[in-house]
Amino acid sequence: MLPDIISILLPATASFIIGIATAPIVTHYLYKHRAWKKRSGKTALDGSAAQVFNGLHKEHEVRAPRMGGIVVWGSVLITTLAFSILTMLFPSQQTNILAFLSRSQTWVPLAALLVGALAGLTDDLLTIRPDGKGLALRWRLIVVIALSLVIGWWFYDKLDVTAINVPFAAPIELGWLIVPFFIAMSLALFASGVIDGIDGLSGGVFASIFASYAIIAYAQGQTDLAALCAAIVGSLLAFLWFNIPPARFYMTDTGTMALTLCLGVVAFMTDTLGGGYGVAVLPVIGGLLVITVLSNVIQVVSKKFFHRKVFLVAPLHHHFEAIGWPGYKVVMRYWVLSVICAVIGVILALAALG
């Protein structure tokens, strides 16, 4: 009988190998079809030209293709299906432990991953057209809200999730408000997708986050969920192999929407359902995502009400570039901080389990 830990490590390894093997194929077609923005430059939230950002990244936006996130969710999907098919073709105690596609643990997070991937892919495909206009933000928000509404209702009505566990304190009982709470959390995570702004940045940060939840899920005995998180980590490492500066492709929305929507579900799955504290430790484990969103909020509020900018450019990682940090220095320091946040969050989650 294979130890449980092997059933976690094998999906991660398989997903990495599949990602490494398929990335050159994805790259070939992305370059063949010129899958990059045809017009460089971005506009700020108030509609004006984002002058500082454009000065930093205007040429980079048309240097490499979008949709590199296909490597991430594609590797996870192939790994999941391959392990399931392997179990069906060769049923045994050894192979059964490898199949991590299960209704109780992985159907919902995998569905969130794929819905986010398809919505983001639609935006990317529209963005690479000559007019450069992607899927309108309101439609992407509708996708996030609609999906979160369905999943939040599922947690509440079908799985009887009505509270959020708090480490070393009593649970917070929300009742039916758990549904709008889940929607709000999903929207916040969706907003954090803007961390995909420098070569290698988002891949390293998300890898640390999902590795943390793999450990937390494993400690709770949710081995299938842990295996899915590990597979995501493996795919992200494969993506990073090709995304380290100079990036061969960018993750963009098909990757960030998939990962952020899946992350919200994973956090809920490792909370009261798993007898843990997955939601409460999310702001710690995803500390850099929180900082990214807050820096945007602070910038917008300050410009609107005080008519001045707090940062040279938001989100924060671009501010560091604007003050003279090379992109690789920002990325490496974010990676270090993401690991520290992950370790602290895991310690907090496991210590609270007693």
Judge residue 31's burial from the number of C-beta atoms within 10 Å of its C-beta, 0-12 exposed, 13-18 middle, 19 or more buried.
middle
Identify the band that residue 1 occupies on the pLDDT scale cut at 50, 70 and 90. Answer: very low
The domain limits of the chain are 4-353
pTM, entire model: 0.95
pLDDT in tens, 279-318: 999 999 999 999 999 999 999 999 999 989 999 999 999 9
What is the mean pLDDT of the segment spanning 320-341? Answer: 96
Tokens standing for residue 139: 């439609």
Taking the C-alpha atoms of residue 68 and residue 255, their distance in angstroms, rounded to an integer, is 7
Identify the band that residue 182 occupies on the pLDDT scale cut at 50, 70 and 90. Answer: very high
**Closest CA relative to residue 98, chosen from 7, 3, 234:** 7
Q: Indicate if the pLDDT at residue 161 is higher than 70.
A: yes
Taking the C-alpha atoms of residue 337 and residue 328, their distance in angstroms, rounded to an integer, is 14
pLDDT in tens, 28-78: 999 999 999 877 666 655 555 566 665 665 556 667 899 999 999 999 999
Conformational region of residue 167, where left means phi above 0, alpha means psi within -120 to 50, and beta covers everything else: beta
**Closest CA relative to residue 145, chosen from 116, 165, 176:** 116
